[in-house]
Structure 1
Amino acid sequence: MVGFLFKDNKTDQYLDDPDVKLMLKFKEEEDPKVFEELMSKNFSRIMNFIYRFVADRELAEDLTQEVFIKIYNSASNYYPRSKFKTWAFTIARNISLNELRKNKGATVSLDKPFKYGEDDISLQVEDKTVTRPDDAIIKGELVDAVDKAINELPSNQRTAILLIRYEGFSYEEVARTMNTTVSAVKSLLSRARETLKEKLADIVSG
């Protein structure tokens, strides 16, 4: 049991998170196999998220390794103040944004799948299975337009959209990840959707 390590409600509420339990177990036992399990459960999702920012597979893998190095090195001082995924994606977001500052203008197709290990990591926006060539052209154009529009969003709006739409985060989890408030997250999403609506208006109406 790891619950005895904590006395305050702020940590107790996260002790049911399986990944928090793994992190606490690793902190207590320092068993590399425990950390490997934690890493294997989360590596693909975090790499997928980072890839959408940096648009380079090898770089995304390197940066994901950097995320887990930070997590590993933080183990001795770890106390859960959020779900594990919220904490891990906060680290991933910061590393991604630092990389973008060094390499401005990188974009990535959200429809392009790639493989990591045995897993297909799909960045698919929608199912492009179609029955007519005309449909394929129209859907392809729409996917490209959505891709371009999302990549042109300001980084905060882009992060909020990716976490909500592709990672299934709640508003509260996004707020924690971005170190802001729920109302600010909703405002970011509202502005992002308005921007996307404007950018896609011609294609949708056409």
Structure 2
Amino acid sequence: MEEEEIVDKKPRYSETEKYKVFDSEFMPHIDSMYNFAFRLTNDEDGANDLVQDTYLKAFRFINSFQKGTNAKAWLFRILKNSFINDYRKKSKEPAKVDYQEVESVYNSADEPQYNGTVDLRTEMVHDLIGDEVAMSLNGLPVDFRTVIILCDIEGFTYEEMAKILDIPIGTVRSRLHRARNLLKEKLRSYATSMGYKELR
């Protein structure tokens, strides 16, 4: 879904109504949006940029949103498409090195890693699933990672996921089945190392 495809039926809002809809329908989902963005990007700055971009687009295309419908699914679809478009764009660019980042890592090599600041949202996301599960989930290809996040973490129905991802429900089911199996394989060795035995 490209940006122009978001615009279909256009309930017209006044400028005052636009801000009311934005605040009442969109803003309550900002934590879920950040968690989804962080799971997709594995990066705090990238997640923040993605959420900001999503909310800018949501406001820009607010006339295509029908008040009282599923705002969360609508926002997730915009975020998912923004991520995919950005991912495609970056994959076509030559690799870049951030020399400032390299220099700061080099200069701080002998310093303690804790800098006294903590992003509570990031901690919450990590604590929500546990480090090994989070690492295994992050290791999945993005299509599989996305369906697990949408279904098992965010609780969307298959119908909602089909709309967010713009794929048939049958594809949602099969992709989710494959994603869960891949995740299970990744976690099997960890479970064994923790002393769990697979039931026959």
Partner of 2:27: 40
Going from structure 1 to structure 2, the CA distance change for 1:103 and 1:125 (only over 3 Å counts) comes to farther
Name the aligned partner's letter for residue 151 of structure 2: I
CA RMSD of aligned residues (A): 3.0
Higher relative contact order structure (alpha carbons within 8 Å, sequence separation ≥ 6)? 2
2:127 aligns with one of 124, 128, 134 = 124
Name the aligned partner's letter for residue 74 of structure 2: W
Conservation of the 8 A alpha-carbon contact between 2:41 and 2:47: yes
Mark the runs of 5 or more structure 2 residues left unpaired by the alignment: 1-8, 92-117, 194-200
Partner of 1:28: 13
Distance 1:126 1:103 in 2: 28
Distance 2:24 2:71 in 1: 14
Deviation at 1:60, TM superposition (A): 1.6
Q: Does residue 115 in structure 1 map to residue 120 in structure 2?
A: yes
Deviation at 1:159, TM superposition (A): 0.6
Mark the runs of 5 or more structure 1 residues left unpaired by the alignment: 1-10, 12-22, 105-112, 128-142
Partner of 2:57: 70
Conservation of the 8 A alpha-carbon contact between 1:48 and 1:123: no
Structure 2 counterpart SS, 1:122:
helix
Conservation of the 8 A alpha-carbon contact between 1:67 and 1:92: yes
Distance 2:189 2:123 in 1: 33
Going from structure 1 to structure 2, the CA distance change for 1:186 and 1:77 (only over 3 Å counts) comes to closer
Q: Does residue 53 in structure 1 map to residue 58 in structure 2?
A: no
Distance 2:191 2:65 in 1: 48
Name the aligned partner's letter for residue 194 of structure 1: N
Give the share of equivalent positions with the same residue, in percent.
29
Structure 2 counterpart SS, 1:28:
coil
Partner of 2:112: none
Name the aligned partner's letter for residue 114 of structure 1: D
Q: Which stretch of structure 1 is more off in the superposition, 85-94 or 39-48? A: 39-48
Give the number of aligned pairs: 157
Partner of 2:147: 160
When normalised by structure 1's length, the TM-score is 0.64
Conservation of the 8 A alpha-carbon contact between 1:46 and 1:89: yes
Structure 1 counterpart SS, 2:13:
helix
Structure 1 counterpart SS, 2:120:
strand
Partner of 1:138: none
Conservation of the 8 A alpha-carbon contact between 1:160 and 1:174: yes
Distance 2:25 2:126 in 1: 23
Conservation of the 8 A alpha-carbon contact between 2:148 and 2:179: yes
Partner of 2:106: none
Q: Which stretch of structure 1 is more off in the superposition, 156-165 or 40-49? A: 40-49
When normalised by structure 2's length, the TM-score is 0.66
2:77 aligns with one of 90, 110, 117 = 90
Deviation at 1:57, TM superposition (A): 2.0
Q: Which stretch of structure 1 is more off in the superposition, 176-185 or 57-66? A: 57-66
Distance 2:63 2:144 in 1: 33
Name the aligned partner's letter for residue 186 of structure 1: R
